A and B are shown apart, each in its own frame.
Chain A
Amino acid sequence: MKEVLIIGGGPAGLTAAKALADRGTGVVLVERKESLGGMARELTCKGIVECRNCGVCFAIDRAGDAIRNANSEVLLLSEISAIAREGDRFVAKIKTSPRYVTDDCTGCGKCVAVCPVEGKAIFPPTGSGQPRTFWIDRNKCLHFKKAKCVACAEACPTKAIDFEDRATNVSRKADAVIYATGIDPIDACETSRLGCGILKDVLSSVDAERILNEKGRLIRPSDGKPPKKIAVMQCVGSRTVKLGVEYCSKFCCKYATKISQMLLDTDPEINLDFYFMDLRTLYEPQDDFKLWAKEKKTVKLVRSMPATVNLGQNGKLLVRATGETDLDVAEIEYDMVILSVGMRASGASSELAKALGITVDSMGFAKATQELEDRGVFVVGAVAEPMDIEETAERAIAAVSRIQKKEGGA
């Protein structure tokens, strides 16, 4: 077999790409962003000495594999502008936007330092994304407005800036399509009563993961001090009728409990209160985190959903929450609050999805149906339903197996 078009370079797309490449099948991987890895790019490894099985390194390893593989064509900053059937095959028109930075980029970051645009116009790859080549956002870059700025080009020690880069349009044929456009995190600020976006020391789990991935430790944005008393709050934006997110996002308890363990690894004196409704630690016995918390005298599990987070005394955060039996209300001060946000499917109802015949369910997830698979369209990963990286990997391999079956196997 021939060629498979993979739409989306996150854990699902990447695992599928490796599985197909290992089976000798050609792969065209189209990724919208500037690097591979999807949401996993900004998730942190949660182990300091012992692995906590979060799956993030698995996704990053697959990103590296995809770039190295001779059987895989990886198109970054690319989108599918049209897709149609031609007999038994799909024909896709792919537009690749110019990156303006060549492979000579060493990631030194001198360009970013000299970029005069507020908020910058040249960026490194997000998080741990691969490959490590920077990119210019044309819409922000002064060079493309009247200014003709060349500051980055002059600062670059390897002359990797290429303002002559142009968009390219290619056409690719494929025997099957894997739709794996993944997820977007729910904006924690949608639940404004918890202070996100208002209070500096209230972080969303997305922020916390990003900072931990970059630096390995958290500091309070307000005064730069390390937080000693932290509240972690689950289900922000999930299991919430008001926001229309009635489902559980599945992986947040897994990630939040492991981040909590990582924080205690780095600083055993941290006091951590874990606010939750149900402890949904995936692939782990439900007691494990409770037993760990019991052993760490400074960790408390509180089965309660805090009502508000406000500014307290001396720059601390004041959390108002009921106790476990709803009979008592407490106001507790913390240095930092981390809100575990859920996720929504991304690109499930885009024009491209519609063109492929993909429909969505009541919660906005793309429906993976037998009918679609019979036609050669495989919806894989968290765009179909909430799942973590491990499950995503399994489903991607299983989908590849079914693609083989479709094409007559061996």
Chain B
Amino acid sequence: MKAKIQVVLCKCCSEVPALLNTDRLAMLATDADMVVSVKTVDAICDGKNLAGVVGEAKEKEVDRAVVLACHKKDVSPALAKAYKRAGVNEFMVEIVNLREEVVLPHIGEPERAQTKAETMLRAALVRAVMLKPLERLTEGMKTNNVVIIGAGVAGQAAARAAARTGAHTVILEKTGKSMKAPGVILTHCQLIGAKGWTGNYTLKIKAGEKVEELGAAAIIVATGGGWTELMGPLAKAVKDAVPLYKLYERMQSNDLPKGTVVVVDTPDPAGKSLRVQDYAWDDTLETVIELKKKAPSTQIYVVFQEMRAFGLDELAYKEAADLGIRFIRYDKAGAPRIDPKAPTRLAVKDFAQGEVLNIQFGTLVFASIPPNKDNQAIADALRIPMSVDGSVRRGSIQRGPVETVRPGIYVCGSALFPKSRALAEQEGETAGSMAGEFVKNGKIAYGGSVAEVEQEKCSACLTCIRTCPYEAPFIGKATKAEIRTQLCQGCGMCVGICPSKAIELHHFTDDQIMGQARSLLGGDF
């Protein structure tokens, strides 16, 4: 069946004719093979113009279009919708950006610009002839569960926000602590495996001794910081040293610390580990200020490298100092040391004075929030990447502030980066809201421009599997690679790297790409 192409030339009001000869372009289009309709409009973004174009497309039974206009993102949605009414598949509409690729940047070269525009039109026609109609599919979500891993501040806030959207929330909490949050709360529960894909995960969870399955439409990792796992020479020397949050918790039940309190930024100040662990200075300052107010006679020292009191917390820094809390800065050369044989004395070289201070203490507190050791197992189960510092990695900021690399899986709170309770709560709310909205759709859209393996060519080298960030390729029953279409994002990385050239990306096949390139290079400008 021969293609029936409609060419639309948008003048962008008076912009395009200011540089190009649009009549010549229209004439070229009219003379081209398989072109059955040529429309020149003032502005394709104008509904009336669009209606006229689509009307003729219907009349001439057009099956594909080449639209010379502006940036795809600006015109594509309206065009796709309109052409659908004329029976033209959305993947059969080729948009050429004359405005930003030719008209705007080549003001000083009108002749070359003209030939370039004509070449681009020809290349687009070459590509358009090779296009095939493709269908986007949908798959219903079997549950509307938003599963939240971790019932800390972030996890609870996420549950509240997700519940607002109508999602059903399930919190998986590894300890037995009780809390109030919407939906179902499973305590003594851990994630040990996951199957399935975006919108339709089947999680394997261990609740006590039982292993169960749980459906999940979206997942939020809110495991928090690993502040119970303090590692370093100072923690080793002082067995009853406490993490900051433990101190805070005890203070709430009026269990105040004994003797002089020394808060150190990290149990490993000489930095054997790759980096000094970060901490939440707003929580630290809040805690020591509250302690000083509750027990004014308690001596409190805060020993640190960097006083990271961001934003308005700077005012808390001042308040703490005014209350008589002593701040001692050190650098790696004068890092605090504790002799395990005398575990009630901390020696640190005060940075400003250059002298070593020996502080006798009753309670040693660590402010740092190390990465949670559970993160690796969870990341492995969900097959999402981690960061080098042990936190769950957020994807590109293009996707959003709390999304991991895989759509439908979010991360928030200290699992993402050490932070205060207040900020973790905000982030939890953000993640819960995003997850809830995602689940509200009730279905996922997939397919269209996706990868497909030609099994006979596949040598099962596993390169595609190692390359894909979304786990879309897998080795199927025939011991050959297959693409799980629901997971395929259409990036084409596997296609570009396959050494056997066994994978094709619909809508961006090798023939289409190279055909277009060759046609463009054929232009003499």
Touch between chains A and B, by CB atoms below 8 Å: yes
Name A's B-contacting residues (CB within 8 A): 19, 22-23, 51, 53, 55, 57-58, 61, 64, 68, 103-104, 106-108, 157-159, 238-239, 246-250, 278-280, 282-283, 285-288, 291, 303, 324-326, 363, 365, 385-387, 390-391, 393-395, 397-398, 400-402, 404-405, 409-410
CB-based nearest B residue for A56: B397
Known A53-B397, A400-B433: A285·B313 in contact at CB below 8 Å: no
- 8 Å CB contact of A280 from B305, B306, B432: B306
Pair B398/A401 contact, Cβ less than 8 Å: no
A394 touching B74 in the complex, CB below 8 Å, given contacts A104-B13, A280-B310: no
Contact A285 B277 (CB under 8 A): yes
The secondary structure that dominates the B interface is loop
Q: How far is it, in angstroms, between the C-alpha of A249 and the C-alpha of B313 when the chains are bound?
A: 10
A246 with B18: CB separation less than 8 A: no
- Asked if A279 and B429 sit within 8 Å, CB to CB, the answer is no
Q: Nearest Cβ distance between residue A373 and chain B, in whole angstroms?
A: 13
Q: Chain B: residues with CB nearer than 8 A to chain A?
A: 12-15, 18-19, 73-74, 77, 99, 103-104, 107, 161, 164-166, 271, 274-278, 305-315, 318, 351-352, 354, 389, 396-398, 400-402, 417, 423, 426-427, 429-430, 432-434, 436-437, 440
The 7 lowest CB-CB distance pairs between A and B, nearest first, are A401-B433, A398-B429, A386-B311, A248-B314, A410-B166, A250-B311, A285-B275
Assess whether B104 is in contact with A106, with CB atoms less than 8 Å apart.
yes
Query: Which one of B14, B314, B426 contacts A158 once the chains associate, using CB atoms below 8 Å?
Result: B14
B311 adjacent to A385 (CB under 8 Å): yes
Central interface residue in B74, B276, B305, B433, by most chain A CB within 10 Å: B433
Give A393 to B433 CA distance when docked, in angstroms.
13
Question: Are B433 and A397 in contact (CB-based, < 8 A)?
Answer: yes
Q: Which residue of A lies closest to B279 (CB)?
A: A286
CB nearest to A241 among chain B residues: B318
Rounded to whole Å, the gap between the CB of A334 and the closest CB of chain B is 24
Given A394-B427, A410-B440, 14 more A-B residue pairs with CB atoms under 8 Å apart are A22-B437, A104-B14, A104-B15, A106-B104, A108-B104, A239-B314, A247-B311, A247-B312, A278-B306, A325-B354, A365-B312, A385-B312, A390-B397, A394-B430
Q: Which residue of B lies closest to A245 (CB)?
A: B314
Q: A57-B398, A282-B310 are in contact. Are A409 and B13 (CB under 8 A)?
A: no
Q: Chain B residues near A22 (CB, 8 Å)?
A: 437
A395 to B157, CA, bound (A): 13
CB–CB A106/B103 < 8 A: yes
Q: Which one of B271, B311, B351, B398 lies within 8 Å of A249 (CB-CB)?
A: B311
Cβ A394 vs Cβ B315 within 8 A: no
A residues near B434, Cβ cutoff 8 Å = 397
**B residues in contact with A68, CB < 8 Å:** 73-74, 77
Contact B161 A51 (CB under 8 A): no
Task: Decide: B278 and A286 in contact? CB cutoff 8 A.
Answer: yes
How far apart sit A386 and B313, CA to CA, in the bound complex (Å)?
10
A99 to B306, CA, bound (A): 48
A288 vs chain B, min Cβ distance (A): 7
| A401–B429 CB distance below 8 A | yes
The complex places the Cα of A88 from the Cα of B161 at a distance, in Å, of 23
B430 near A409 with CB under 8 A, answer: no
Q: Are B426 and A246 in contact (CB under 8 A)?
A: no
A391 to B425, CA, bound (A): 12
Bound together, the chains give a CA A325 to CA B351 distance in angstroms of: 7
Q: Is B276 a contact of A287 with CB atoms below 8 Å?
A: yes
Cα distance, A282 to B418, chains bound together (Å): 10
Say how far A61's CB is from chain B's closest CB, in angstroms: 7
CA–CA, A324 and B430, complex, Å: 41
Task: Let me know if B315 and A246 touch, CB within 8 A.
Answer: yes
Known: A248-B310, A286-B308. A404 touches B164 (CB 8 A): yes
Most chain B beta carbons < 10 A, residue from A19, A286, A391: A286
- Nearest Cβ distance between residue B388 and chain A, in whole angstroms? 10
Q: Which residues of A contact B315 (CB under 8 A)?
A: 246-247, 363
Cβ-closest chain B residue relative to A410: B166
Inter-chain contacts of A55 with B (CB < 8 A)? 397
Q: Nearest Cβ in chain A — how far from B321, in angstroms?
A: 12
Q: Among B74, B389, B430, which residue has the most Cβ atoms of chain A within 10 A?
A: B430
How far is the CB of A74 from the nearest CB of chain B, in Å? 14
Residues of A within 8 A of B429 (CB): 397-398, 401-402
Bound together, the chains give a CA A397 to CA B5 distance in angstroms of 44
Query: Known interface pairs A51-B397, A285-B389, A398-B433. Does A386 touch B305 (Cβ–Cβ under 8 Å)?
Result: no
Determine the chain B residues whose CB is within 8 A of the CB of A239 once the complex forms: 314
State in angstroms the CA–CA spacing of A242 and B274 once bound together: 39
Q: Are A51 and B352 in contact (CB under 8 A)?
A: no
Which chain A residue lies CB-closest to B265? A286
Q: Which residue of A lies closest to B309 (CB)?
A: A248
For the complex, give the distance between the alpha carbons of A401 and B168 in Å: 16
Q: Shortest beta-carbon distance, B364 to chain A, in Å?
A: 21
Contact check, B352 vs A325: say whether CB atoms are below 8 A apart: yes
User: When the two chains form their complex, are residues B107 and A246 in contact, meaning their CB atoms are under 8 A apart?
Assistant: no
Q: Bound state CA distance, A247 and B313, in angstroms?
A: 7
Distance of A25 Cα from B300 Cα, bound (Å): 51
Q: A278 and B433: CB pair below 8 A?
A: no
The chain A residue with its CB closest to the CB of B412 is A394
- Whether the pair A409, B276 counts as a contact (CB closer than 8 A) is no
Contact A398 B426, beta carbon cutoff 8 Å: yes
Indicate if the CB atoms of A401 and B161 lie closer than 8 Å.
Answer: yes
Chain B residues whose CB sits within 8 angstroms of the CB of A324 once the complex forms: 351
Determine how close the nearest CB of chain A comes to the CB of B172; give it in whole angstroms. 22
Question: Which interface residue of B166, B312, B432, B437 has the most chain A CB atoms within 10 A?
Answer: B312
Closest CB of chain B to A377's CB: distance in Å?
18
Q: Is the CB of A391 within 8 A of B312?
A: no
Cα of A283 to Cα of B314 in the assembled complex, Å: 17
Name the A residues within 8 Å of B165 (CB-CB): 401, 404, 409-410
Distance to closest chain B CB from A130 (angstroms)? 11
Cβ-closest chain A residue relative to B397: A58
Residues of B within 8 A of A107 (CB): 104
| Minimal Cβ-Cβ distance residue in B for A409 | B164
Chain B residues with CB under 8 Å of A395's CB are 426, 430
Residues of B within 8 Å of A61, CB to CB, are 398
Question: Which residues does chain A contribute within 8 Å of B402, judged by CB atoms?
Answer: 394
Given contacts A53-B397, A285-B389, A391-B423, contact A278 B312 (CB under 8 A): no
Q: A248-B310, A287-B271 known; A106 and B15 CB under 8 Å?
A: yes
Residues of B within 8 A of A402 (CB): 164, 429
Most chain A CB within 10 A, of B165, B351, B401, B427, is at B401
Given A386-B310, A391-B423, A398-B430, A51:B275 Cβ within 8 A: no
A168 to B308, CA, bound (A): 48
CA separation between A393 and B309, bound complex, in Å? Answer: 21
CA distance A279 to B440 in the complex (A): 42
A400 to B354, CA, bound (A): 51
> Are B18 and A157 interface neighbours, CB within 8 A?
yes
Min C-beta distance of A389 to chain B, whole Å: 9
A86 to B12 Cα, complex, angstroms: 42
Q: How far is the CB of B459 from chain A (nearest CB, A)?
A: 33
Listed residue (A158, A246, A409) with the most chain B CB atoms within 10 angstroms of its CB: A158
B347 to chain A, nearest CB (A): 19
Contact indicator B311/A248 (Cβ below 8 Å): yes
Pair A23/B437 contact, Cβ less than 8 Å: yes
* In the bound complex, CA of A238 to CA of B104 (Å): 42
Select A398's contact among B161, B313, B398, beta carbons within 8 Å: B161
Closest to B429 in A: A398
Q: Quick one: closest A residue to B76, CB to CB?
A: A68
A287 to chain B, nearest CB (A): 4
- Contact among A64, A279, A282, A401 for B164, CB-based, below 8 A: A401
Residues from chain A with Cβ under 8 Å of B103 in the complex:
106
Chain B residue nearest to A65 (CB atoms) is B73
Expressed in whole angstroms, the Cα–Cα distance for A398 and B73 within the complex equals 27
List the A side residues contacting B161 at CB < 8 Å. Answer: 398, 401
Query: A254 to nearest B CB, angstroms?
Result: 10
Shortest distance between the CB of B54 and any CB in chain A (Å): 18
Contacts of A285 in B (CB 8 A): 275-278, 389
Tell me which of B14, B104, B313, B400 contacts A248 (CB under 8 A).
Answer: B313
Residue of B77, B398, B429 with most chain A CB atoms under a 10 A cut-off:
B429
